[in-house]
Structure 1
Amino acid sequence: DFIIKFLKMIQVRLKVPVRRIRTDNGTEFVNHTLRDYYEEVGISHETSVARSPQQNGVIERRNRTLIEAARTMLIYAQAPLFLWEEAVATACFTQNHSIIRLRHGKTPYELLHSKLPDLSFFHVFGTLCYLTNDSKNLGKLQPKADIGIFIGYAPTKKAFRIYNRRTR
């Protein structure tokens, strides 16, 4: 389960035990697997009242900030709306690497990895780029590259995500 892996990673990286979790009543947070895990490790799970987003104000504001950033990125890039999920993921990645939390004087990336993020890796969402055409039937006069747009960063390795207009 992703949430259990995430909680374990947070405890190892921050060297602080997770004592309490506050979520909404989504089924991804309220289920037998997580309830058993919380009891096993001594985590208190608090849920907000249904249909009252004001009880999760910090998270709701963070989500709104990400959606506003993603909307701006999509409009600026004149990208198709079906790339909204990529835009949100890229906005989150960018903010985690660049926005400094005043309480700690560090970015979220610094807090988790104990080192400064590499900002030279950043690129503008929607930037035109060219990727090698991997077609097997490439003739002598066929283009050797496809036109793509930069849509984000790979989650588990240092690589980019590119939307290939030819292959979609």
Structure 2
Amino acid sequence: MTSNLKLLCNFVEIFLGTVRFGNDQFVPILGYGDFVQGNVTINRVYYVEGLNQNLFSVGQFCDADLEATPTQAWLWHRRLSHLNFDYINLLSKKEIVIGLPKLKYVKDQLCSSYELSKAKRSSFKLKDVPSSKGRLNLLHMDLCGLIRVASINGKKYIMVIVDDYSRYTWTLFLHSKDETPEVLKDFLMMIQRNLQAPVITVLTNRGTEFLNKTLNAFFKEEGIEH
């Protein structure tokens, strides 16, 4: 409330009742306007004649459901690990977070991080011509593990081998990573013998389980490119 009409913008002259002071004096409220001080605007400030000082109600101000600025809203959204705005308002209302202003937080746009997390990569174009011209020409393989839960036989590693031409997949189980060279050698010898077809190229992630002296010598002997 103020008695200085010059401080109020957009003044509306209307009788809104009376105000009772501590000395039991009743004073009429003759209108209201907006008080502007720099970047701060307080709406609906009452005009009361005869006041010696401007009066400000902290309780009414806190209960006015004021909105945070977009900068404030998104700042707290990031500070709280991109928390939903409904939960931010709940935390503010119940004063659970120290330092969180008691304001209304409004989402005025989509979160850029949320949009990025939901984005999808374009699919790879399908090949008109296969990379390989026959079965076993090209094998893709990888070793998965260490798996937390062992198999019935106590094995915690899985080697997956895919034939590029037929997409046929083999799955081999290993106790440990260092079994890879011998298991792979036995598999390649067996599959070439059974299918009567040579393995020409092997593609791996070139980890130490595939890139070692044992397999290097075997690939060289069999004429397999790695």
Q: Same fold (TM over 0.5)?
A: no
Larger relative contact order, structure 1 or 2 (CA cutoff 8 Å, min sep 6): 1
From the two aligned structures, give the one with the greater strand fraction: 2
State TM-score, norm by structure 2. Answer: 0.20
Higher helix share: 1
